[in-house]
Structure 1
Amino acid sequence: MSLLPVETALAKIFERIPAPQPEIVALPEANGHVLLEPLLARHNQPPFNASAMDGYAVRAEDFAEGVSTSVRLVGTSQAGSAYSGTLNSGEVVRIFTGAPVPDGANCVMMQEVATVTEGRVSFSELPKAGKSIRPMGYDFADGEALLAPGTRLTPYSLALAAAANAPTLTVARRPTIAVLSTGDELVLPGAALAPSQIVASNAFGLVPLLSPFAQAVADHGIARDDFSDLRGKLEAALEADIVVTSGGASVGDHDIVQDVLKDLGVEIDFWRINMRPGKPLMFGTRGKSLIFGLPGNPVSAMVTATVFLLPALRRWLGEDEPLGPRLVLPLAEPLPPNTARRHFQRATIETAGSGATRVRPISETDSGHTSSLAQAHALIIQPENDPGQPAGALVEVIPL
């Protein structure tokens, strides 16, 4: 079987992802969710002409160039308690930031340029109409679409939603995810290692990596390389929308994940990708469940999850850019030639003394070398058969 190109594998995965399903969530629970319906403003913001600073509300036409003018202080406007009258010629109102500008006023002069003497105010600068006033609807207007469907909600967009007076938002329902590690050699962290055993680490990276995109991520522990044990744990895991296994997805004598999945009615779509690290990636479906069989090597598992699982989850949620953020940065040092498989090269991002941001390849490429992945800030996407690139050349990277 030939190796599947990365783009082809992603396209096959995307074809199997269901359309996003709506649910309504309260604003305090909406962080990280993806909008399925636009956020519409429910009022004008500000809802009135508002002062942009502490100072005095005046009529600019009361002041003429070269003429020293003082005006009579007639009241105060502050947030939550507006001046109730109309400002007439020769009058001024003390005003505070965010307070409504009185009717008749068309300028706010900051208090630093004001002199108050016996109830009258003069200014060291000439007032100009519109100065330091936020007009009604300056931020947004009633009914305006503020955030489009496909937007991942952040603390900043939630502050906007609150300002727009939206107590709830319609978002895409997040999937449930089951994670299962496989292998006779695995033990949990903290265990005493017997000969030929290794510590299971994949789930401890995968669960927090996937959790921001999921309704819940359940860790189903470790399944042994035994048909019955593996079948029982996979059958329970298949209750989830998305099942993620690590290890045993290849075709070695002890790699039985595919056989068990087929026995459980899973249709295997593909299982070998033209990339490194992470060639033995498996993808299949059963009903509405998606199944990802990640390689057992920890770097391969995390890289394939970053390259395939995260885009799949973004597509599930209806995000505008399912591939996620990409950067184009200059190399801090040369990038060696690549093989016929696309390389997702570990790298650090650094800022030089000049202030320029650069990406530096990490020379370690072993798929079991977890410490180098932990040091990485990004993955350089190096095309197939790339001849190598000199320092300073621009490369595409996936931020981690």
Structure 2
Amino acid sequence: MISVDTAIKIVTDKTEPLQSRAVPFENTMGLCLAQDVQSDIDMPPFDRSAMDGYAIIAEDTAHAPVELTVIESIAAGYMPTKKVSHGQASKIMTGAAVPEGANAVVKFEETEDIQTDNRVKILRSIDKGSNISKKGEDIQIGQTVLYKGMVIRPQEIGILASVGKSYVEVFPTPTIGIISTGSELVDVESKPSVAQIRNSNGYSLAAQARRLKADVEILGIVKDTKEEISGMLQKGLKKDILILSGGVSMGEYDLVGEVMKDLHTQIYFEKVALRPGKPVIFGRKDKTLIFALPGNPVASFVTFELFIYTAIRKMMGFSNPQRITIQATLETDIFVKRKRREYRPALFCARDNTWKVSPVEWHGSADLLATTRANCLLIVREDAQKLAAGQLVDVILLD
């Protein structure tokens, strides 16, 4: 049995980013850049007015108020046709190119129109360069504006559009197959008999993977026979990642590990010092990473967040693929029963200007309902004997 940290390191080391591909930039939200991106233009591409107002020579306002002659009006999208000389001004709109000769823009609110002879009164003096965005002050031609490994958010989409990058190299999301094992399982539409339960794991695991943008196929339910498990497992080897839930403990009908070995799967680990989720298998068959998770739904949920989340993010090119751990103040005492690292469903919130966390009522690894009242996993480390209210503890945020 290996530690959680060792297991996560093995998953990280044995997972490689997928081959990058060129994708239309508007379809890259949430993906990871596989290339640096350079600008093909200066931004702004010219000296640009930051205000609606008048383009003037600042020195003309030294003894304001002063009257100037308006020689033209410049709208955004049009280039000036006249040079501004002393005693003159050009009416200008936000985003328009500043005309030659002008070195400042005065806002409309600081002027008064004079109805005769196309003149304007400037009410106060203004400094040179005021309200002008200089050419290239934000981005210069050839400048690297986005870097390989960055997550693409709405603002990165805007930058890609600004620099004309209509297609961009990104790491794609993996394909994932999900198999639920257990002769006791029936699908959602069926009413379980006394000895049956509905297949919740297949759908919750699929939702966890889809939240990461993965391409998921629920392959179905198989009974606890080597033949059925083997047949469905081999079907799933077309995927980048194959997830099985159930059949990994020590019972007579826990056959998943045996089937994986019969198919000559390279097994990297089979047990982790973890609660919930000790019996978890990770291996590789050909190009496919295989994760066999416990059948209890909270154990399945937790092991996904620790191991499969990490693998998916590594395949997507993220340099820090693990869930983020932060600290919060514990609000209640916790007594530790087992010397395995525990991940307890908990509620994280801000109270009294401090991040607080409290475990929710939880009846063990089969109690999926408890997780609906939680937004984080509270980490109880294996060397702890008791966690006291008021101390800082580590939590993994889920939402």
TM-score band (shorter)? over 0.9
The answer to whether the 8 A contact 1:183-1:223 is kept is yes
Point out where structure 1 has 5 or more consecutive residues left out of the alignment: none
Q: Which residue of 1 aligns with 2:201?
A: 202
Tell me which amino acid in the other structure corresponds to 2:139.
F
Match of 1:270 in 2: 269
Tell me what 1:36 maps to. Answer: 34
- Supply the AA of the counterpart residue of 1:232: G
CA distance in 2, matches of 1:135, 1:320: 36
RMSD between superposed Cα atoms in Å = 1.9
Corresponding residue to 2:383 among 382, 385, 388:
385
1:16 aligns with 2:25: no
Q: Which runs of 5+ in 2 are unaligned?
A: none
Matched, 1:107 2:110: no
Aligned residue runs from structure 1 range 303-314, under 5 A: 303-314=302-313
SS at 1:126's partner residue? coil
Decide whether aligned partners of structure 1 residues 330 and 86 sit closer, same or farther in structure 2, where only a CA change above 3 A counts: farther
* Alignment correspondent of 1:59: 57
Moved more, 144-153 or 251-260: 144-153
Whether the 8 Å contact between 2:345 and 2:374 is mirrored in structure 1 is yes
Deviation at 1:213, TM superposition (A): 4.4
- Deviation at residue 332 of structure 1 after TM alignment: 3.9
Residue identity in the other structure for 2:5:
E
**How do residues 1-400 of structure 1 correspond to structure 2 at under 5 angstroms?**
3-64=1-62, 66-118=63-115, 119-213=118-212, 216-337=215-336, 339-352=338-351, 354-364=352-362, 366-400=364-398
| Residues 51 and 95 in structure 1, CA contact (< 8 A), matched pair in contact too | yes
Counterpart contact for 2:61–2:125, Cα < 8 Å: yes
The code of the aligned residue for 2:382 comes to E
Distance 1:356 1:113, change over 3 A: farther
Call closer, same or farther: CA 1:109–1:334 in 2, change over 3 Å. farther
**What do residues 152-200 of structure 1 show as CA deviations (whole Å, max 9, x unaligned)?**
2122211221112110111113322111111111111131111111111
When the two structures are superposed, what TM-score results if normalisation uses the length of structure 2?
Answer: 0.93
Listed one character per residue, the Cα deviations across residues 263-299 of structure 1 (whole Å, up to 9, x for unaligned) are 2221222111111111111101112211000111111
Deviation at 1:307, TM superposition (A): 0.8
Amino acid at match of 1:244: I
Deviations 1:194-246 (A, max 9, x none): 11111111121111221354662111011111121111111101121111111
Q: Is the 8 A contact 1:57 1:106 kept in 2?
A: yes
- Higher mean C-alpha deviation, range 171-180 or range 193-202: 171-180
How many positions carry a matched residue from both structures?
A: 396
Distance 1:288 1:113 in 2: 68
Looking at structure 1, the residues matched to 344 and 81 of structure 2 have their Cα atoms a distance apart, in angstroms, of 66
- The residue identity in structure 1 corresponding to 2:76 is A
How far off its partner does 1:319 sit? 0.7
